[in-house]
Amino acid sequence: MVRLTAEPFPLQAVAKNLGRLSKLNGLRTTPIDFNKSIRSIAFKTVYYAFHHEARAFALAVKEVDLADLLHAWIDKLDCLMHQNIIECMKRNSGLE
């Protein structure tokens, strides 16, 4: 179970699998704070798909605070991506 809750696995999991991991985690003798683990992964990565899957998981299990936090983080990533696109376009068009 430790291997399944370590960062590489949840990072590639879809919402349904995150839900299964959460349930399995609850069966451990000393469960980890799974939501804290998801937050930690979310703030360390820009892997966009993870954020959307984690948000879908949070909404499915009615963890509103986690869902709101992930939604805000997705918005920040969107903004960063759009800024980078604009900067790249400026550089490539000679406007800079």
The residue type found at 8 is P
Both tokens of 37, joined, read 């683990």
Question: How does pLDDT run along the chain (96 residues), one tens digit per residue?
Answer: 666 666 666 777 888 888 888 888 888 888 888 889 889 888 888 778 889 999 999 999 999 999 999 999 998 888 888 777 766 666 666 655
Phi, psi angle pair for 46, to nearest 5°: -110, 20
Residue-level pLDDT at 70: 93
pTM for the model stands at 0.76
